[in-house]
Amino acid sequence: MTRLTWSQPSDRYIETGLDHGVLYPKTGPAVPWNGLMSVDEGGQEGSAAYYIDGRPFLFLPKPKEFTATLKAFTYPDEFAAVMGVTEATPGMYLDSQQSDAFGLSYRTLIASGSQDMSAGYKIHLVYNATVDMQGITYQTLAGDISPVEFAWDIQAVPVAISGYRPTAHVIIDTRHMDEIKLHDLEVVLYGDENTTATMPDPQTIFDLLSYGDTIIITDNGDGTWTAEGSYGNIYMIGDGIFEIDNVNAVIYGDGTYDISSTP
């Protein structure tokens, strides 16, 4: 057994900063949000109390609803549709139009006593968000130029993920991840020369990080078998038909076959 120790440099962490904001519009490609200043997360989980004979009988946790306040010096043009501002013709925008839901991602940085600012970071993913803009104050120029700070209140509709409560907020902590899987995830989220940036649903991300390139084949003992793997390796191509990539299969013609890993 090992005695507990405190204040080890490698165990002292702080979170600071905000960067890599990305807007994922409902329609159209993802775009970087360069002017994002802060995200004030809210919507903490509570509990409901039930009483019998004047005494607490039961406390049940209430599902958390993700809310936040966004602040920015500016915003991408694509965010206008999210606010309900529609471009009627080039350069002419109409306010008070139908607004769209959107996805959002941003990073918070992690520092430690032994690694400074290179300890890692967290990628936050927010799904199905809608926005209410706070009031804007425009002022005449004075001796000091103070940029306008835009602010929006957002709330998000949870997305289903098998085995867990639905959630609208997913957090990726890079301190506890394989570098290859992190790279694959960031290619999906941020794109590269061959990939368009998208924000997949939580179940897809779970499959990617849980399995990666691993495919698990289980013999059910009744002449059937089950295949589990990431969305990139096992996916449906039709009703009751699915395809498996990254495996070798030898078909003998009598209804049997061998499956093995690729080199």
- pLDDT(19) > 90: yes
Rounded to an integer, what distance in angstroms lies between the CA atom of residue 109 and that of residue 15?
6
Lowest mean pLDDT among 57-66, 130-139, 197-206: 57-66
Tell me which of 45 and 18 has the higher pLDDT: 18
Q: What is the pLDDT of residue 22?
A: 97
What is the band of 244 on the pLDDT scale with cuts at 50, 70, 90? confident
The CA radius of gyration of the chain, in Å to the nearest whole number, is 24
- pLDDT(172) > 60: yes
pTM (2 d.p.): 0.78
pLDDT in tens, 92-131: 999 988 888 999 999 999 998 877 778 899 999 999 999 9
Rounded to an integer, what distance in angstroms lies between the CA atom of residue 47 and that of residue 107?
29
What is the band of 210 on the pLDDT scale with cuts at 50, 70, 90? confident
pLDDT in tens, 36-92: 999 999 876 667 888 998 888 888 877 778 999 999 999 999 999 899 999 899 989
What is the band of 233 on the pLDDT scale with cuts at 50, 70, 90? low
| 37 contacts 123 by C-beta, under 8 angstroms | no
Q: What is the pLDDT of residue 219?
A: 73
Rounded to an integer, what distance in angstroms lies between the CA atom of residue 105 and that of residue 33?
9
